Structure 1
Amino acid sequence: MADGMQIDPESPRGTKRKVDDTLPLPAPRRIKALAEDVVNKIAAGEIIVAPVHALKELIENAVDAGSTALEVLVKDGGLKLLQITDNGHGIDKEDLPILCERFTTSKLKAFEDLSSIGTYGFRGEALASISHIAHLSVTTRTKESSCAWRAYYSGGKLASPKPGQSAEPKPIAGRPGTQITVEDLFYNVPSRRRAFRSASEEYAKILELVGKYAVHCTGVSFSCKKHGDSSASISVPANASISDRIRQIHNSAVASELVTFKAENDRWGFKCEAWISNANYSAKRTTMMLFINHRSVESQVIKKSIEQTYATFLPKGGHPFVYLSLDIDPQRVDVNVHPTKREVHFLNEDEIIDIVCDEIRTSLSKVDTSRSFMTQSLLSNPKVPFATPMKQTAPATPAQSGTVDGSTVRPTPKTATKKPYENNLVRTDASARKITSMLVPRESTQGGEDDDNEPEYEYTEKEATICRLTSIKELRSEVRDAMHNDLTDVISMHTFVGIVDEQKRIAAIQGGVKLFLVDYGMLCNEYFYQVGLTDFGNFGSIKFSPPLSLHELLSLGAEQEKKNAGDSADEIDWDEVVESVKLQLIERRALLLEYFSMEISESGELRALPLLMKDYMPSLAKIPQFLLRLGPHVDWDSEKECFRSFLRELASFHVPESLPLPPAPAADGEVAPEEDPEITARRQKVCRAVEHNIFPACKARLVATRGMLKSVMEVANLKGLYRVFERC
């Protein structure tokens, strides 16, 4: 370090430095009033943040005007053009000069009126704010006026449409109502205009807003479309109900799963009406439309509370759909807390939210018996060899495949995200029309004998009962625990190919790119057993007129069993068996009637049997054997085992009968053997029921269990065949 260099001593840490007294102090700034133009633009920036906020103000004004039809036209997300046309009572010509001045309104006279305001708009700032940041024109006609009047505005004042022309409103032809056109929004606020990322994003916000008011404002038709489009993005008729409006604005998946409720409380001064999704519906994000005193608002407190209520009903990551309309005493609501009226404050918020959440919880609990979960099936193993049964997989966890009170589990269809290779293409699918559907049905040549006297149905006013028996719930749970995901996926997405063997009851189905042989006897047995569990206590009935003798039916069943028993039949006293089973069924006729719709008279007459599927009649020839088996094969002492064994026998009774194979075609020079016409008619009936009734029903609601694996055989795989053909 040089000797002549001087270094200032280091100042101690934490000490204050003194102000240099030699520097001059700045002169104090004077307070001045902002220019009126600046004030108006600042106010406009607070109220009109985006095109959707301008449209919200215009929609609310149109509804306040008594409109029953609103048409919205949008260009470039509302930045280039935003037009709304209504058929309300219009605006008087004398009011047009002050229409766009600030704080001009027909809905408020004194400050005290805020405590009882019942309209959407009330401050008179919407049109004034829009006129300062856009080119605004108004065309209006009242019912009493002979013509419509058009006026242009700029900066809150009347303006001339072109230089040199008068700014006074001009008479033109027009229909009753008002049309407000907003062009070049934010043309004089370039920083705000550059902040918008895309027109499509702004248009999506506009559609969301129009959708909210279209759902809420019953009796008002709404339409919204882009400029230049031939069709509207939203179109709701005036006479549509709320559920229909939700279906059109959102989708049928939401509308078909809606639950509605009403609640009110005089102490807290509110009423509410809601349409909410039940536990069957679940989405990736919450859709919530909240209206307080018919004003669309947002409330994170209400939204969070409702989501927490749904958390116990929906799977993890699932969110509900909620449309909630609250009517609160206006004296308890402060509507003037947000520039865009997006938020309101009201008294007793926590108490009102608690009541609403309790009603939601109660409404969801009432319908949880129909709850079902969508499950994602496991991927199939592409290396399964030909003619091998499906491999058994581990059972699904309750979180994946659980249902409540026995409702069926449907797998989620797997959608392809990449272009499939040729060996992955499916020749047919479940929605493809079969060639047989194009053929004209053959008329019966035997005077209607093939119809087999189609049954007539009689509908009763009996209400469905909810089964709360622990034993039935446990049996349903056992079915869910035994579910096989891969096989359930195949059954629920299959295409029926045809019956291969009526005697062995084998049918061919296509699942994806694979062909399977299915033992439809075992398939039907499991399906009808599950129907018995899910519809327990709510079966239909097959009425017999006149009633059948129980003793004679059991005797016929004993004769059949005697033939099947062979030499050991002589060791059994069949008369005693018949009498014992008859007494058992008569003693338990009340239980059979209450739970299974099986009606037996005190004198021993069979009047009705349970019916598990409409448009399908089980073979009545199986009745004697079915009744006889109810004695030794049903455990009448244990409740759970009684229901299990009885439903198994009932399912076996509903399984289609096994028929002999049709005669082989005759060789050259030989006479073809003829089949019994009765057997032919029964074969046609079974084939028609299997294809058009049973397999579609299994496709809709069967939960395939691991015990059914031995009834399904894979016989062909398109991927494997493709590799074989490649080597040829």
Structure 2
Amino acid sequence: MDIDEPRASGGAPVPKPIPEAPRRIQALSSDVVNKIAAGEIIVAPCNALKELIENSVDAGSTSIEILAKDGGLKLLQITDNGHGIDQEDMPILCKRHTTSKLKTFEDLSSIGTYGFRGEALASISYMSHLTVTTKIKESSCAWKARYAKGELVPMKPGQTAEPKPTAGRQGTQITVEDLFFDNPNRRKAFRSASEEYAKILDVVGRHAIHCSNVAFTCKKHGESSMGISVPANASTVERVRQVHGSSVANELIKFEVSNDRWGFKSEGWISNANYSVKRTTLLLFINHRSVESSAIKKGVEQTYATFLPKGGHPFVYLSLEIDPRRVDVNVHPTKREVGFLNEEEIVETICDELRSTLGKVDSSRTFMTQSLLTGPKVPMNKSTSAGDNTVSEQEERRTQSRSVAKTSTKPYENNLVRTDSKVRKITSMLPPSLPGQPSSSDAPDEGETRSDDMEYQHSDKQLVICKLATVKSLRAEVRANIHNELADLFSSHTFVGIVDERRRIAAVQGGVRLYLVDYGMVCNEYFYQVGLTDFGNFGAIRFNPVLDLHELLSLGAAQEKAMADPDDDLDWDQVVQDVKEQLINRRAMLEEYFSLEISKDGELLSLPLLMKGYTPSLAKLPQFLLRLGPQVNWTEEKECFQTFLKELANFYVPEVIQPPPTAPADGGSVPTEDPEVAARRNHLHRAIENVMFPAFKARLVATGGLLRGVIEIAHLKGLYRMFERC
């Protein structure tokens, strides 16, 4: 078969491309290297400003003035009254890696200044036209110089590049003009000057709140009004008021926490439960650097979810001081992030104190209330005695007539939200229990002694801080899989009642929506998370008398054998023996990590306690122990912990109990129910309502996998619209 060769427009064959020779590795020129480095550090005008503000604070300034034009792209000027720069240092001021704050690499372990790499001014000089005017206290005049690509350049053509004497006050003024003038692609990427100016105000506002005894002003070029103006003697709350307004400043409470074990202390101001906005405002400073931390932000948001309405977010200013030896400051080109040891433990300590602080002031929360009384309220003067007629009958009648004349707005019932789970439950609409049996929906009165209550004793076991990387990794996987809408639902839900015991379905209310929840699935996820968070610190359910492990495993094998394929020739006696030996051989690890205590003689002494007020079904114990053999990966650490905790969570999931017997249709006698089954049902009902669902509200991290177990069945506003058509 002939193949036509491609031809050019003139008819001649197109020559085949000559394959390129392999490219050789070569060193980049210093100019290219410096521009690449500068582009990583100075990403936007706000990044350049952050570096300049940090230099001014490091110089001991008490007043910092910022001027911006076109969002900082045309002009960005910062003036301070700090120590200034010596004239002899000006020739190397903008060279890369020139700094007065660091001499050896070991100094990074104790660095206490904002800047340390000596790349801020060098990077800016590669991205803009940079002018520096500075004066130290001992100098009789100020000195002015211009820089380009890290080097001194003449102020005007034909002049020398040396710094020129000029009039000026003590301190430094740095003028950045035409930022990204030689990088048009990046300059075009900025949306608008107003958006970049808003980012500049955010940077200035953060430092204005944190840097006490330093005055800050920021304004646009050509305008007389200030975008931000904070005096030097203003308190932290007043600084917040100047930057973010009175609505948040009036609702701030002091926050302090420290821990010598983890080598940190933290203080700041946080909003109480009366204040909420659509987006979290977190001003985080670690060792006085403005940084970001997704772990701290997520922990703060989850903590506040219990106190704020759905969709509400807090304002938090947090200054965290950590031992410099525990902090790695050199992990991000723009110093936006830092790394520090024991991050998870520090975040957990902060969130615990945050929860405690908010709980102490939660009584100050204000709500909009609606009176449902039909008659008008008449105010009573409590200071008036029975015999003191300070208010005449005529005045009293006038007061009543004014009260009646006021038009009251009728509340729309489709907007009412259930706030008291004790008023009425869905179980009150179900058929009544048999004569002589207590209703499962009736909660016992406070102080009532329950026959199935367990006695708890405190042991002298010390709290163990989990440092295993595998457990921390499993915890991080749970947090990364959080589903925000479900998290809002479970953190603010109201329990309605158990709907179906056989399918383990309960009803909960979130706002004006009604949901059905598979509480078996939710319990499985919750107990798995408890296993991760309390790893190594479980309580213990002790058996007296102790149980024989071999008998329990044999009972579990008999249950499995009854459900297995009759043609299966598995040697169940050998399975029992293998699992028993496996558990005994690993009894030290099981006792240390999971409080599952087994004697060397094969006696089961205790089980892990995951929740007070609820006892798992011991009928599931034989199968739980038997499954620990084949279902747990004992060879890999991470898989071992994960699979064991999943089996433990499955053991703790409430079992399915058949509903109480009812009278037959033919009118015969009512079957008698086993009293132990009835008592177990009552225990489960009380635990589900009063123990489990409150625990879900406080501790559950609702993951995306729970979407299959939650379904919305009613929306009150939608139902009202439907009924209004009838």
- What TM-score range do you get, normalising by the shorter chain? 0.5 to 0.7
Match of 1:205 among 199, 202, 223: 199
In structure 1, the partner of 2:377 is 523
Is the contact made by 1:115 and 1:333 (CA closer than 8 Å) also made in structure 2?
A: yes
**CA drift at 1:147:** 0.6
- The aligned runs of 1:545-624 (5 Å cut-off) are 618=384, 621-622=387-388
Structure 2 CA distance for partners of 1:163 and 1:267, relative to 1, 3 Å? same
**One-letter amino acid of the structure 1 residue matched with residue 393 of structure 2:** L
In structure 2, the partner of 1:130 is 124
In structure 2, the partner of 1:68 is 62
Verify: 1:49 aligned to 2:43, yes or no: yes
Structure 2 CA distance for partners of 1:37 and 1:6, relative to 1, 3 Å? closer
- RMSD of the TM alignment (CA)? 2.9
Aligned residues: 399
Is the contact made by 1:619 and 1:657 (CA closer than 8 Å) also made in structure 2?
A: no
Match of 1:182 among 176, 182, 190: 176
- The aligned runs of 1:356-505 (5 Å cut-off) are 356-373=350-367, 409=368, 482-483=371-372
**CA drift at 1:261:** 1.8
Verify: 1:315 aligned to 2:49, yes or no: no
Verify: 1:146 aligned to 2:152, yes or no: no
Match of 2:108 among 114, 117, 133: 114
**TM-score normalised according to structure 2 size:** 0.52
In structure 2, the partner of 1:96 is 90
In structure 2, the partner of 1:717 is none
In the aligned structure 2, how far is the partner of 1:265 from the partner of 1:524?
54
In structure 1, the partner of 2:298 is 304
Deviations 1:586-615 (A, max 9, x none): xxxxxxxxxxxxxxxxxxxxxxxxx75xxx
**CA drift at 1:372:** 1.9
- The aligned runs of 1:273-284 (5 Å cut-off) are 273-284=267-278
**CA drift at 1:6:** 8.6
In the aligned structure 2, how far is the partner of 1:686 from the partner of 1:176?
74
Structure 2 CA distance for partners of 1:112 and 1:135, relative to 1, 3 Å? same
Structure 2 CA distance for partners of 1:257 and 1:94, relative to 1, 3 Å? same
In structure 2, the partner of 1:36 is 30
Is the contact made by 1:72 and 1:84 (CA closer than 8 Å) also made in structure 2?
A: yes
Verify: 1:659 aligned to 2:653, yes or no: no
In structure 1, the partner of 2:501 is none
In structure 2, the partner of 1:343 is 337
In the aligned structure 2, how far is the partner of 1:148 from the partner of 1:23?
63
**TM-score normalised according to structure 1 size:** 0.52
- What's the secondary structure of 1:523's corresponding residue? coil
- What's the secondary structure of 1:89's corresponding residue? coil
Structure 2 CA distance for partners of 1:198 and 1:705, relative to 1, 3 Å? closer
In structure 2, the partner of 1:262 is 256
In the aligned structure 1, how far is the partner of 2:400 from the partner of 2:123?
70
Verify: 1:164 aligned to 2:164, yes or no: no
In structure 1, the partner of 2:76 is 82
**CA drift at 1:35:** 1.3
Is the contact made by 1:262 and 1:272 (CA closer than 8 Å) also made in structure 2?
A: yes
**CA drift at 1:166:** 1.3
Deviations 1:35-90 (A, max 9, x none): 11111110110000000000000000000000000000000000000000000000
**One-letter amino acid of the structure 2 residue matched with residue 246 of structure 1:** V
In the aligned structure 1, how far is the partner of 2:339 from the partner of 2:227?
34
In the aligned structure 1, how far is the partner of 2:400 from the partner of 2:60?
59
Where in structure 1 are there 5+ consecutive unaligned residues? 8-21, 374-408, 411-479, 488-518, 529-610, 624-655, 661-682, 707-728
In the aligned structure 2, how far is the partner of 1:244 from the partner of 1:193?
37
**One-letter amino acid of the structure 1 residue matched with residue 74 of structure 2:** K
In the aligned structure 2, how far is the partner of 1:523 from the partner of 1:166?
87
**CA drift at 1:690:** 10
**CA drift at 1:619:** 7.2
In the aligned structure 1, how far is the partner of 2:156 from the partner of 2:141?
22
Structure 2 CA distance for partners of 1:367 and 1:146, relative to 1, 3 Å? same
**One-letter amino acid of the structure 1 residue matched with residue 64 of structure 2:** L
Where in structure 2 are there 5+ consecutive unaligned residues? 4-15, 413-726
Deviations 1:501-545 (A, max 9, x none): xxxxxxxxxxxxxxxxxx9xx4334xx5xxxxxxxxxxxxxxxxx
In structure 1, the partner of 2:461 is none
**CA drift at 1:705:** 9.5
In the aligned structure 2, how far is the partner of 1:287 from the partner of 1:368?
20
In the aligned structure 2, how far is the partner of 1:40 from the partner of 1:313?
50
In the aligned structure 2, how far is the partner of 1:113 from the partner of 1:370?
48
- What's the secondary structure of 2:158's corresponding residue? coil
In structure 2, the partner of 1:229 is 223
- What's the secondary structure of 2:377's corresponding residue? helix
Is the contact made by 2:378 and 2:400 (CA closer than 8 Å) also made in structure 1?
A: no
**CA drift at 1:280:** 0.6
**One-letter amino acid of the structure 2 residue matched with residue 47 of structure 1:** I
Verify: 1:195 aligned to 2:49, yes or no: no
